[in-house]
Amino acid sequence: MFQEQLKENDEVLEGEMNPNYKKQNARRQLEKYWVNAMETAKTEKVTTNFNLPLARIKRLMKVEEEVKMMASEVPIIFSKVTEKFIEELTLRAWLNTDDNKRRILQRSDLSAAVRTSDVFDFLVYIIPKADVLNIDELMYEEGKENNSLEYENENENENESFDH
């Protein structure tokens, strides 16, 4: 039994040294997610509790001028599809977080997740790359410093007026 565990550990170590290990592991986890999602979809009963508000989904669908009427099950289906979309994107972002040996999901992980699959190509321009995010953060920090300097200058002017 002990030798079997050693053999399994050696196989895991060999796998981790393999340059394609991370990709294979991610692919396995995504496949496992979708198998589980399909099983759940087949057995799950439709309830009245939804994670996304159906009224908002209907309103978004009616923004399209060509949509005059819709069947009652359409917003429910859109709700489930949107949930699965968010879950997969989150899983892909988490895999990137895990690869970087972190425990907190960051914007850069979401950016990397969008770039892992052609399915998310439409988000490439909405979710900027990590290096663009860093530039924005620097500009934000500089803006905060400039605002704090202006605030200090205003306080000095107010203090001078009270001295008279």
**pLDDT at residue number 149:** 46
Query: Residue 122 has which token pair?
Result: 């439409």
144-164 per-position pLDDT tens digit: 555 544 444 444 544 444 444
Interacting residues of 90 by C-beta distance below 8 A, sequence separation 6+: 105
Place of tokens 């663009």: 132
Q: Are 104 and 113 in contact (CB under 8 A)?
A: no
The answer to whether the pTM exceeds 0.95 is: no
Q: Which CATH number is 2-122 given?
A: 1.10.20.10
34-82 per-position pLDDT tens digit: 888 888 878 877 776 778 888 898 888 889 888 888 898 888 889 888 9
Judged against a pLDDT cut of 90, whether residue 3 lies above it is answered with: no
Q: What number is the average pLDDT over the span 131-147?
A: 54
**pLDDT at residue number 2:** 47
Judged against a pLDDT cut of 50, whether residue 20 lies above it is answered with: yes
Judged against a pLDDT cut of 90, whether residue 104 lies above it is answered with: yes
**pLDDT at residue number 86:** 92
Domain boundaries defined on the chain: 2-122, 128-164
**What is the average pLDDT score of the chain?**
74
Q: Are 94 and 33 in contact (CB under 8 A)?
A: no
Alpha helices in the chain (DSSP H): 2-17, 21-43, 54-62, 73-99, 107-114, 130-163
DSSP secondary structure code for residue 71 in this structure: -
Sign of torsion, CA 64 69 72 73?
A: negative
99 versus 16: the higher-pLDDT residue is: 99
Query: Residue 81 has which token pair?
Result: 């599809």
How many Å apart are CA 140 and CA 146, to the nearest integer? 10
